Copies of this chain bind each other. A is one copy, B any other.
Amino acid sequence: MKKYQHLAQQMAEQIAHGVWLPGDKLPSLREQVLNSGMSFMTVSHAYQLLESQGRIIARPQSGYYVAPRPATQRPATAPAQVMRDEAVDINTYIFEVLQASRDASVLPFASAFPDPRLFPLPQLNRSLAQVSKTATAMSVIENLPPGNAGLRHAIARRYALQGMTISPDEIVITAGALEALNLSLQAVTEPGDWVIVENPCFYGALQALERLKLKALSVATDVNEGIDLDALAQALQNYPVKACWLMTNSQNPLGFTLTAEKKAQLVALLTAHNVTLIEDDVYSELYFGRDKPLPAKAWDRNDMTLHCSSFSKCLVPGFRIGWVAAGKHARRIQHLQLMSTLSTSSPMQLALVDYLSSRRYDAHLRRLRRQLAERKQLAWQSLQRHLPPEVEIHHNNSGYFLWLELPAGVDAGVLSSLALEHQISIAPGKMFSTTDNWASFFRFNTAWGWGEREDNAVKMLGKLIRQLLN
């Protein structure tokens, strides 16, 4: 094969693989010569060959473009690939559910995120624009772990307003709460250690345990009362537990918030057994009552709690900024971060510093809470109206999840598959546990607004459930 034929074949392959799409401008002859090191004649011949094959078209005074793909050549749409890797079965399942909620045509009742239209985009964009005016070359170097000092300061002050004294020095900025939680777990465990989680719990906890080769003790957790302290005490007595990962406010997926009394008891119990608490508090700002509930860390006098949170659920998911108030573990967590992701992005941290100092965060949060409460109420009414009375809808008073219980024998996984065919996603209970207890439960996200389309989707869910009942 001659050189020009080889180049033409290579470019044809690239077009076939979607590197260059129909309508794309191709590199000019000159660029191609510079990049390939081939002669102008060779490159020119290759382009002429591709043109004669109808793969590219020349536009005078403009250059070469990828030809539109003839309709007959278009590959049939392949069915969504479902690869089941037995070893990571739950992860694959979670991945599929999350991927489905990316499709804009699917109603995202399965989503873990609130409707991003609830977030103050114009103000956030003003903060980004501000960073684009003031960022310096050196700001990157000032943002290695533990992260931007101004941002850690701003977070410490929000703790202070709740009456908690957290020094900026014990805060580490992370890629969302998820990295904070993962690093925290890694900081206090070794592979093979026992860790307590709730049952059911945030699936990220199960994934993290699996990833770090830890052993899970799932402790019974009630939809209203939260974790069973007697069962917890028993687990602590019978196993050499290293850490306990749980949510105290607006728990995912159940929705409860522990009472102050129970938080105090929880901390006392864990402290008595010298077990570290990894507290996932990502929904802390999404309370509906008058006062922001305290985290369990507020009762901790022995530096036994790593408190993890983020801006992803209440201000801006896309920035990927979270943190951990890590106390004595702060330094170890900085090391672990330096080894795995180095640091979070510097413009994102700077934009948040700007936003928090001047863009009325608290006013946004008040509006957000009001909107979430309204949407939850509307969703609840619709579910009450359209689902069969055998379905139990567990209400709660914060955040944007409802926990639904189908009649015994009706599998939420099956309902989820059927619903997806109608462009409706829900989050089946089996995403949230390694046990089989939750086959007939699902989590329902109420944060995406409520209109006719949502109401009709709930009607369809009702219809599908009735079919499964018969």
Instruction: Please tell me which stretch of A222-230, A264-272, A316-324, A437-445 contacts chain B, meaning at least 4 of its Cβ atoms lie within 8 angstroms of it.
Output: A316-324
Residues of A within 8 A of B (CB): 7, 10-11, 13-14, 17-21, 27, 31-32, 35-37, 83, 85, 88, 91-92, 94-95, 98-99, 101-102, 104, 113, 115-117, 119, 121, 124-126, 128-129, 131-133, 135-144, 153, 156-157, 159-163, 165-169, 175-176, 178-179, 182, 186, 191, 204, 207-208, 211, 213, 290-292, 316-321, 331-332, 334-336, 338-348, 351
Please state if B334 and A347 are interface contacts (CB–CB under 8 Å).
Answer: no
Complex contacts, A18 vs chain B, CB 8 Å: 156, 167-169
Decide: A339 near B128, CB < 8 A? Known: A98-B144, A113-B141, A116-B138: no
Please state if A335 and B27 are interface contacts (CB–CB under 8 Å).
Answer: no
Pull 17 A–B residue pairs with CB atoms less than 8 Å apart, ordered by A: A7-B163, A19-B168, A35-B161, A88-B335, A95-B335, A117-B137, A119-B137, A121-B137, A125-B132, A128-B135, A129-B132, A132-B132, A143-B318, A178-B342, A182-B341, A211-B340, A345-B345
A83–B88 Cα distance when bound, in Å, is 38
Please state if B132 and A14 are interface contacts (CB–CB under 8 Å).
Answer: no
Please state if A165 and B336 are interface contacts (CB–CB under 8 Å).
Answer: no
A83–B167 Cα distance when bound, in Å, is 20
Give the Cβ gap from A470 to chain B, nearest Cβ, in Å: 36
Please state if B335 and A319 are interface contacts (CB–CB under 8 Å).
Answer: no
Complex contacts, A335 vs chain B, CB 8 Å: 88, 91-92, 95
Nearest first, the 6 A-B pairs at minimum CB distance are: A140-B318, A318-B346, A128-B132, A116-B137, A129-B132, A207-B339
Please state if B37 and A291 are interface contacts (CB–CB under 8 Å).
Answer: yes
Complex contacts, A126 vs chain B, CB 8 Å: 132
Report which of B17, B98, B175, B338 forms a contact with A98, defined as CB distance below 8 A. Answer: B338
Report which of B140, B141, B166, B213 forms a contact with A19, defined as CB distance below 8 A. Answer: B166
Complex contacts, A319 vs chain B, CB 8 Å: 345-347
Please state if A10 and B163 are interface contacts (CB–CB under 8 Å).
Answer: yes
Please state if A178 and B128 are interface contacts (CB–CB under 8 Å).
Answer: no
Please state if B341 and A179 are interface contacts (CB–CB under 8 Å).
Answer: yes
By beta carbon, the residue of chain B nearest A312 is: B342
A356–B128 Cα distance when bound, in Å, is 19
A136–B159 Cα distance when bound, in Å, is 31
Complex contacts, A36 vs chain B, CB 8 Å: 161, 163
Complex contacts, A132 vs chain B, CB 8 Å: 125-126, 128-129, 132
Please state if A102 and B17 are interface contacts (CB–CB under 8 Å).
Answer: no
By beta carbon, the residue of chain B nearest A334 is: B95
Please state if B161 and A331 are interface contacts (CB–CB under 8 Å).
Answer: no
A346–B318 Cα distance when bound, in Å, is 5
